[in-house]
Structure 1
Amino acid sequence: MKKNSIMKVGIILSISCMLFITACSSNADKSNESTPNTQVDTVEGKTTEEDTSKTLSDDPVEYKEAEASGEKEIVAPVANKEIPIYTFNDISLEIEPAIALVPEETELTPELVVNMVVDSFADRSITVGIDKILIEEDTVVVSFLSDQAPLVNVGSSLETTILDAIAQSIIENFPEYPKVIYRVEGKSYESGHYKFKVNEVYLDGNTSK
């Protein structure tokens, strides 16, 4: 009886061990099968993201569209017109023609032309003092400041050049104003070289033609 009991217990233990080993082996196989699938999915996911990034950055069409959207509007250069004026030669100090540029839509006035002549002299270190500019019928009256050229700090040759350059610039650009009168702060023009009455015409384009 005891021997039969012992054999039964041994058989039961053997069967239990076999079942245990089989169960462990089955679990291990399942674990091994699931692990490769997870890694492949992760790699595929990374590959998809990288490929998408490369596609967006390397696509010339998308790049051009982005570049175009950031382009600044190209502004056309302002059209200019040429205004003939007179200035002076640095060496001989004699009058000589020049060209001034102003925006095409700028209204041309005697004051503007005089200022351009004055600027051309300033570029050559000669400061011409303008008091005011008046229009009297067919005449342009240019009034100078008493403490600046052409009244002071210039010789007779340069004084004459300043007066001629302003007068000829006005007459050439404004046929409707053929006469130019010079004054000093609203009074008659008088320097160490010239003396003009308050309404004396310095240059008359009608007679010079």
Structure 2
Amino acid sequence: MASLTLKHVDRAFPNGYEAVKDLNFQIEDGEFVILTGPSGSGKSAVMRMIAGLDEVKNGEIWIGDKLVNSLPPEERGIAMIFQNYTVYPRMTVLENVELGLRLRGIDEKEIGKRTLEVMELLDLVEVRFAKVKNLSDLWKHRTALARAMILEPDVILMDEPLRNVSPKFHNQLTQELVELQERTGVTILYATKNVEEMALLGKRKVMV
């Protein structure tokens, strides 16, 4: 886990539109912070810059004591969850969760150990052989979280992850996320404009 700091960060597009202007904030190691603002305010742009998916025009992004502006995404210690869960629907839950470790060439024994740990943490063991496409939003979201957690990231970025979740699972998943963060101590930046969601999360807010 690590802190996350943005110093005077700008993001501009080729047409001159400034998606983000002089943004400054700090998240402490192990803190859960909500990034909020109206539609079009630049929440997703901020997330993508932190993850290394978009270029920073000006300013600095620090993860812990490491300046990451010039680092590729895979070297930043970041895991990101998008609105579409970031899972492969035709693969099983187990295959989804293991995939990140397999792509990194981790040995089979370590893959087995870490997969079991994270699946137990998120109550996924009973559905591990099910195809994700056949599961409810509840299990899809837990699978996406497991894919992120198994990489042991310093920071998890969540860009409106519950936006497309069925209303009947929304409150449960919000509470599960808070409990998971408290149990693991992982640093989380969570983007949303949903007022009810922010109230349920009950965390410090940063405005964009």
- TM-score, normalised via structure 2 length: 0.25
| More RCO (CA 8 Å, sep 6+) | 2
